């Protein structure tokens, strides 16, 4: 049900608690979080207290950082404790990463010592590692457990576990097998875990990069992925919903980098004007100074364009086409790398492919452009100069666009960085050099 | 276990079937598909026949289109029937969409009439719709079913259902509630579905765009999403693994479009040289002809750059910076639209934000550039001309980069299309106009 926010806020400020409560009763946690997203301070805490107990923690986990800190600040000790007891480990850690220091202390004081220790461990995993996105709640079973016992166990503990659809068979805390809820639901009661468990297990270590985690989910259609520590002991799981969130964040980061913007953690409107400027200026400065080189290069050919002024008019077209060709190639290669389809070892194969594509593309564009020049200026020599320059520029651009991301990947730089803007700037310089050199060779006036 | 492909192929061609079979026995279906991915014809069908029966269909579903057609062609009638019986509905439809017509006929003849009808219905849903990615296998229960009965039912039928973790409560084929396997596993035996089912259900229609499907998965952390037909009757479900695949495809499509490449269904290396060229040339041609306008514009200012030749050297820098600023804004806005964070109604808010960002960015770049010009040419007037042109160009570029994707979205064009390349070309023209007009106003020589 999509509740109209204005009506809801009206009911709330009219203190129609009964109506508010029945609305909150039928809605799901995600939608409630959206519904409350414009409330502040007193109204927020008031509305939050009307949410049914079993949904409150879930709603809280779905709110944005500002609202969460508002609430933590206004909660009584008891309320805070209730919410923290219900929150999943990974959501608690996410919360702590966003909160100001004084509220973090407040929270760490409110949880019991055992949970506090776990939280501290999780907070210490490097950003973007499997450890930082995993949760420590999962169902663990023993080899000799029977299906009936497993089902009993899940009935007892399962309600508090983030996912119960994959159960982990441990032996001295070491992961030896996996049994799915599907197995438990469809197998006979007296079969033991050992008989049905899958022993060929996909797992990652706490320090595995989250991008690799996401690739495993994608490749093997997983619902959850176990995480082991340096001693190969099981410490947690990553669930598919968190993997999807990581996937979305990684793509946003790549798209930002490909447009020469330092990625922001916040959404577009939540990022301040100065933060936006700060994310964009460094690249623009760098690219601006690089393109100055191209500009100075052009002045070197001053005599050429004084002799044949028409030449200048082809510069934007050549530089533009070169830049576009380079971006096309780099975008496809960068995406291929992200999808694990293209690797550094394929570099020559990719270059050969781009080379052949460049020839086809170059010849077509050169012909189209040649016809235009012949019609407009009736000057076949200029048509040849521009056509040859186009073909050479396109070949160079596509090769640069293909090689740079692969080289970056090889030396552990994010390939998304060496994308359109950098490649365009590089290609600009090349296209000017190519153009004036070919012109000088072919045109008798120069 | 990561099996070395060469060793495996060696064993296979040495006809060491026992070894091959035991390797295939312990590996999972996805890895087996990778292991067999270089095999052809006879070797492929030979290896395929050694895969344990319970994994064969799953391996088949994970192979690429070419290998699937190879196999379908070489299978006996009986083998084909066995595989088709085991394949999930959505995988069968994916297979049929890729196969040549004669093999499609062969498959449709091999399945029983009931399945054939279902396949035909699924094949008729529009591309990219929920109907085209859903599967028709799911667990349906009645309101009065008890937990114990539900568990029994799943035990009997569940093994053939694509996902059993969400069960659908139907009344006259209409979806009235949802119960998760978690509920079934943790609730008491004699509770009925009606008492525990969630009635506030997220569902989509068969014609819902797959992008919307993906957004629901992301927003509500779903494992499966029910699909209903025009009469609101339940017809299938989309599972989270298929939603992830769609998500990845949509991003690849957006990244291609943002780099002015028509998206390809195949991976980079699987796309032929001519297909690559065909995907790239139309945009390049269009952009090339547009940038010709800029070129012609420059020739209009021939007198200006003959009087002050230095002016020409700033053109690449101005055009480049304008293009980069525009791409930055458009990339952020396009991503915001894709994530459902920015809507058309926010257009003025976004413009105002971009305007303020442009001022900050423009002033910083103008100062940096001014210092460089003063050091290199000791000409404050030129520094002022270039600085003012930079600021105006940046404001225009960022506004164009922000407005165009939102307008495209409004008139139902994919906003990813109006990205970097188009915006750069537009901005190029603007920056030349701005530059020479400001120069004419300020420089006494012009």
What DSSP letter does each residue of A203-238 carry, written as one string? Answer: -EETTSBHHHHHHHHHHHT-SEEEEE-TTSBEEEEE
Q: Do B199 and A26 touch (CB under 8 A)?
A: yes
Query: For A427, what's the count of Cα atoms within 13 Å in the CB-facing half-sphere?
Result: 38
Q: Do A364 and B219 touch (CB under 8 A)?
A: no
- The residue of chain A with its CA nearest to that of B34 is A219
- C-alpha distances out from residue B335 to A204, A251, A258, A284, B218, Å: 30, 9, 12, 20, 15
The CATH number linked to A190 is 3.10.580.10
Nearest-by-Cβ selection for A425 from B247, B320, B420? B320
Nearest-by-Cβ selection for A164 from B185, B274, B284? B185
pLDDT in tens, A96-137: 887 888 888 888 888 888 888 888 888 888 888 999 899 988
Host domain of residue B22: 5-124
Work out the end-to-end distance of chain B between its first and last CA atoms, rounded to an integer number of angstroms: 74
Q: What distance in Å separates residue A106's CA from the closest CA in chain B?
A: 29
Confidence bin at A3 (pLDDT 50/70/90) = low
Please tell me whether residues A99 and A148 are part of one structural domain. Answer: no
Mapped onto helix, strand or coil, the DSSP state of residue B125 is coil
Across residues A206-218, what is the average pLDDT? 93
Structural domain contains residue B312: yes
Please tell me whether residues A148 and A117 are part of one structural domain. Answer: no
Structural domain contains residue A26: yes
Burial class (CB in 10 A: 0-12, 13-18, 19+), B272: middle
Of the three residues A257, A290, A317, the one that is the final residue of a domain is: A257
Chain B CB contacts of A367 under 8 Å are: none
Q: Do B280 and A368 touch (CB under 8 A)?
A: no
Per the document, the length of chain B is 446
Q: Do B252 and A339 touch (CB under 8 A)?
A: yes
The CATH number linked to B409 is 1.10.357.20
Structural domain contains residue A31: yes
Closest CA to A304 of A442, A441, A431, A439: A439
Please tell me whether residues B227 and B371 are part of one structural domain. Answer: no
Euclidean distance between CA atoms A175 and A232, whole angstroms: 8
Structural domain contains residue B39: yes
pLDDT in tens, B260-277: 899 988 889 989 999 999
Chain B CB contacts of A164 under 8 Å are: 182, 185
Chain A CB contacts of B216 under 8 Å are: none
Please tell me whether residues B159 and B111 are part of one structural domain. Answer: no
pLDDT in tens, B30-66: 999 989 988 888 889 999 999 998 889 889 999 988 8
Please tell me whether residues B120 and B145 are part of one structural domain. Answer: no
Closest CA to B317 of B325, B328, B308: B325
Nearest-by-Cβ selection for B316 from A202, A259, A291? A291
Q: Do A155 and B186 touch (CB under 8 A)?
A: yes
Chain B CB contacts of A200 under 8 Å are: 1, 26-28
Please tell me whether residues A146 and A243 are part of one structural domain. Answer: yes
Nearest-by-Cβ selection for A316 from B165, B182, B294? B294
Chain A CB contacts of B333 under 8 Å are: 268
Please tell me whether residues A59 and A106 are part of one structural domain. Answer: yes
pLDDT in tens, B59-101: 999 998 888 988 988 898 888 888 888 888 888 888 888 788 8
Euclidean distance between CA atoms B319 and B435, whole angstroms: 10
Query: For B74, what's the count of Cα atoms within 13 Å in the CB-facing half-sphere?
Result: 16
pLDDT of residue A124: 86
Q: What distance in Å separates residue A272's CA from the closest CA in chain B?
A: 9
Structural domain contains residue B206: yes
Please tell me whether residues A156 and A218 are part of one structural domain. Answer: yes
Q: Do A295 and B309 touch (CB under 8 A)?
A: no
Confidence bin at B359 (pLDDT 50/70/90) = very high
pLDDT in tens, A316-337: 899 889 989 999 999 999 999 9
Overall number of domains in chain A: 3
Euclidean distance between CA atoms B159 and A372, whole angstroms: 65
Structural domain contains residue A267: no
Please tell me whether residues B79 and B145 are part of one structural domain. Answer: no
Q: What is the DSSP string of B368-408?
A: HHHHHHHHHH--HHHHHHHHHHHHHHHHHHHHHHHHHHHHH
pLDDT of residue A1: 45
Contact partners, residue A444, CB within 8 Å, separation at least 6: none
Q: Where are the alpha helices (DSSP H) in B158-209?
A: 181-186, 193-196
Structural domain contains residue A51: yes
Q: Do A255 and B335 touch (CB under 8 A)?
A: yes
Closest CA to B242 of B331, B122, B155: B122
pLDDT of residue A420: 75
Nearest-by-Cβ selection for A287 from B27, B288, B324? B324
Chain A CB contacts of B336 under 8 Å are: 267-268
Chain A CB contacts of B327 under 8 Å are: 259-260, 420-421
Of the three residues B197, B215, B239, the one that is the final residue of a domain is: B239
Structural domain contains residue B315: yes
Q: What distance in Å separates residue A368's CA from the closest CA in chain B?
A: 8
The CATH number linked to B59 is 1.25.60.10
Tokens at A373, concatenated: 């020049």
- Tell me which DSSP letter residue B139 carries: E
Euclidean distance between CA atoms B326 and A260, whole angstroms: 11
Chain A CB contacts of B287 under 8 Å are: 320-321, 324
Mapped onto helix, strand or coil, the DSSP state of residue B50 is coil
ipTM: 0.85
Contact by Cβ (8 Å): A315, A428: no
How many A/B residue pairs have CB atoms within 8 Å? 336
Rounded to 5°, the CA angle B246-B421-A387 comes to 120
Of the three residues A215, A231, A257, the one that is the final residue of a domain is: A257
Please tell me whether residues B412 and B321 are part of one structural domain. Answer: yes
pLDDT in tens, B204-216: 999 999 999 999 9
Chain B CB contacts of A294 under 8 Å are: 316-317, 320
Euclidean distance between CA atoms A340 and B283, whole angstroms: 27
Euclidean distance between CA atoms B10 and A197, whole angstroms: 30
Closest CA to B141 of B151, B132, B128, B150: B150
Please tell me whether residues B51 and B188 are part of one structural domain. Answer: no
Tokens at A332, concatenated: 């496809």
Percentages helix, strand, coil for chain A, rounded to the nearest 5? 70, 10, 25
Please tell me whether residues B79 and B211 are part of one structural domain. Answer: no
Nearest-by-Cβ selection for B324 from A165, A296, A421? A421
Asked if the model's pLDDT at residue A157 lies above 80, the reply is yes
Contact by Cβ (8 Å): B373, B383: yes
Q: What distance in Å separates residue B2's CA from the closest CA in chain A?
A: 10
Contact partners, residue A175, CB within 8 Å, separation at least 6: A168, A169, A201, A203, A226, A228, A232, A234
């Amino acid at each position: 049900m999509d509740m109209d926010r204005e009506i809801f806020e009206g009911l709330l400020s009219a203190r129609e608690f009964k109506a508010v409560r029945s609305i909150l009763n039928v809605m799901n946690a995600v939608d409630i979080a959206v519904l409350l997203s414009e409330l502040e301070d007193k109204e927020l805490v008031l509305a939050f207290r009307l949410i049914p107990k079993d949904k409150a923690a879930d709603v809280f986990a779905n709110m944005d950082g500002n609202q969460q800190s508002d609430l933590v600040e206004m909660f009584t000790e008891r309320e805070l404790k209730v919410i923290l007891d219900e929150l999943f480990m990974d959501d608690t850690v996410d919360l702590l990463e966003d909160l100001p220091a004084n509220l973090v202390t407040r929270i760490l004081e409110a949880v019991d010592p055992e949970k506090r220790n776990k939280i501290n461990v999780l907070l210490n995993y490097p950003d973007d590692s499997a450890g930082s996105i995993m949760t420590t709640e999962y169902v663990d079973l023993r080899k000799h457990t029977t299906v009936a016992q497993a089902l009993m166990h899940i009935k007892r503990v399962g309600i508090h576990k983030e996912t119960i659809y994959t159960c982990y068979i441990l032996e001295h805390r070491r992961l030896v097998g996996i049994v799915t809820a599907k197995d438990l639901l469809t197998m006979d009661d007296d079969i033991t875990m050992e008989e049905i468990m899958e022993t060929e297990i996909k797992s990652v270590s706490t320090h595995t990069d989250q991008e690799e985690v996401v690739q495993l989910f994608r490749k093997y259609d997983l619902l959850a992925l176990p995480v082991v520590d340096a001693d190969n002991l099981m410490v947690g799981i990553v669930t598919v919903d968190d993997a999807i969130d990581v996937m979305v964040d990684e793509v946003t980061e790549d798209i930002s980098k490909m447009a020469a913007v330092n990625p922001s953690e916040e959404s577009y409107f939540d990022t301040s004007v100065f933060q936006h400027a700060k994310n964009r200026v460094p690249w623009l400065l760098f690219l601006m100074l690089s393109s100055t080189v191209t500009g100075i290069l052009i002045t070197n050919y001053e005599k050429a364009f004084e002799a044949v002024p028409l030449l200048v008019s082809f510069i934007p077209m050549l530089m533009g086409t070169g830049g576009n060709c380079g971006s096309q190639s780099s975008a496809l290669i960068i995406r291929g790398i992200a999808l694990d389809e293209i690797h550094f070892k394929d570099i020559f194969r990719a270059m050969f492919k781009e080379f052949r594509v460049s020839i086809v593309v170059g010849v077509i564009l050169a012909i189209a452009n040649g016809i235009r020049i012949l019609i407009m200026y009736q000057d076949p020599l200029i048509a040849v100069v521009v056509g040859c320059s186009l073909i050479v520029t396109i070949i160079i651009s596509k090769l640069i666009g293909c090689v740079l991301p692969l080289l970056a990947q090889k030396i552990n730089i994010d390939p998304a960085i060496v994308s359109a803007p950098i490649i365009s700037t590089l290609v600009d310089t090349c296209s000017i050099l190519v153009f004036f050199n070919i012109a000088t060779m072919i045109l008798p006036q120069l």
